[in-house]
Structure 1
C-alpha cells in the first residue's frame, strides 16, 4: 500500500484536525470526508480505496472530522456551532492552498460536502457516497437515532435498532460527549437547495444501502448527477474496492 502521511491542521476554534495524505505530490487534489463514528482510516484507507485513487493519479487528502479519529474532540459546546464541519473543511482546504480540486464524502462526509458547496466551496467535481435525497433533508430524524444510541449506550441489546450504532461506537472508541455535541451542529439541507450543486456529481451507493434514502433520487435531482451502484450496505460498502474503482472511473 502507498504510504500514508499524517499531519495536523487547525480547524474552527483552533481544534487540531488530523489530515492523512496518500499519493504523489502534484497529483490532482482530491479531498475525501469520512462518515459518522468512522475515520479516514476505516472509510478510505484500510480497505484499499484510497490506494486505488492514489494509483489513479490523485493526491488524496483525508481529514479526520472533529470528534473522530485522531482529531480533537472538545467538550465545550461553543466548539460546535452550526455547520462546524463545513468551517473545518474550509480550513483544511485553505491550509492546503487548493484552488482546483475534487471533493467527496461518505454519509456524514457527503452531507458535509454538500453543505460546503452551498456555503461557497467550488470543487470541480463532487462525489457523494452512501447518501440519498431524504438523507440530506431529513437529518433531524437521522440525528435523533444516533443521539438515542449515545444516550442509551451500554444498555442497548441485540435486535434493538440502535444496536449497530452502539457496536460501531464501541469499536471506534468514540468520545460520546463530543459526538453528541457534533450531532447538534449538523443542519438539514432543503430539497430545493440541491439545484445549487451544479458541478458534475457522482452519487455512489451500496446496492443494499437505504440508510439515507435513494441515491438514484439524489442523482436525478442534481443538475449534473450520475448514479453508480456498488456492493454492500451502509456499513459494508466501504469495504469493497468497487467503491474506489467507481470514484476513480467517474473522476477519470
Structure 2
C-alpha cells in the first residue's frame, strides 16, 4: 500500500500551534515539503479526518503532486474547544490560519474549504490576499454561517434536556452529535460568535484571486453560492451532481474539479 493510499485512512499526529488568546490549533501535514501546499479547512461539526481524509481528498491531492496542510478549526477535532462566543469571531478564525501559515513559513498557499471553512476562506482571501494564491470554496453560504440556529433552543436542550423544536436547529445538533468527540457547548458558542462583527460575505469586495465555487445540486444554498461566484472577478462555479450539503465533500466529481483547479 503506497503512502497516498495509506493517507486515505490514517492520520499523522497533530502538531499544535498556539493562538494569540491561548488556545491550541491542531494541524496535520502530508506530502513533499517542496510541493505546492494546499491549506484544507473543514466545515461546522467536522474535522480534518471527517472532511478531508475519510472522503479521499488527501489521497487525491497527494496523487496530484500537492502537499497538504490541514487544520482542525478551533472548537473542532483535536483543537481546543473554548466556550467563549467571542473566540469564534471571523477575525479570530482568519487569524488562526495566518498564524498557521507563519508557523510553517509559508508565504502563499492554495486553499480548500468547505461550508464554514469555505466562508472563512472567502474572508482570508479578501483580508490577506497575498497569502492565498487560489481557492476552492465548497458549500459556501452568502450570509452568516449558522445564522438560522436557534441558540436558545440548543441551550435549553443542553441545560434541561428539552427537545429542539426548530427543524434547522435540530439538523445542526444532529450534525454536531454524530461525531463523538464534538463538544456541543463549544459549537453553540461558535454559532453565537459568528454573529459578532461583520460576518456576511461582502459582494462589493469579493476575492480577486482565481476561485472555484462548488455546491451540491441538492443543497438549499446552491443559488446563493452561484451568486457569490458571479461577483468574484475570477470566479468559476461547479454544480456537484446528486449531492446535498452533507454528502458533497465525498463526491468524486468535486474532488476531480477541485484538485485540477488547485494544480493551477
TM-score between both structures, scaled by the size of structure 1 = 0.87
Aligned residues: 245
Q: Which residue, out of 201, 205, 210, partners 1:189?
A: 201
CA distance in 1, matches of 2:250, 2:35: 24
Aligned residue for 1:166? Answer: 173
Aligned residue for 1:147? Answer: 151
CA distance in 1, matches of 2:156, 2:178: 16
Q: 1:148 to 1:226 in 2, by over 3 A?
A: farther
Contact 2:213 2:237 in 1 (8 A): yes
CA distance in 1, matches of 2:260, 2:221: 25
Shift of 1:151: 2.8
Contact 1:45 1:51 in 2 (8 A): yes
CA distance in 2, matches of 1:229, 1:79: 33
Shift of 1:213: 4.3
Summarize the alignment of residues 1-252 of structure 1 with structure 2, pairs less than 5 Å apart: 1-3=5-7, 4-5=11-12, 6-77=14-85, 79-81=87-89, 83-122=91-130, 123-131=132-140, 135-136=141-142, 138-139=143-144, 142-145=146-149, 147=151, 150-153=154-157, 155-156=162-163, 160-173=167-180, 174-186=182-194, 187-194=199-206, 197-211=207-221, 213-231=223-241, 232-252=243-263
4+ long deviations beyond 4 Å: 154-159
Structure 1: any 5+ residue segments left out of the alignment?
none
Shift of 1:221: 0.9
TM-score between both structures, scaled by the size of structure 2 = 0.84
Contact 1:22 1:51 in 2 (8 A): no
**Cα deviation code 1:127-177 (max 9, x no counterpart):** 11012xxx23x217x424263563354544799333322211111242222
CA distance in 2, matches of 1:212, 1:85: 24
RMSD: 2.3
Where 2:219 maps in the other structure, the secondary structure is coil
Q: 1:54 to 1:156 in 2, by over 3 A?
A: farther
CA distance in 1, matches of 2:20, 2:6: 30
Segment drifting more, 76-85 vs 220-229: 76-85
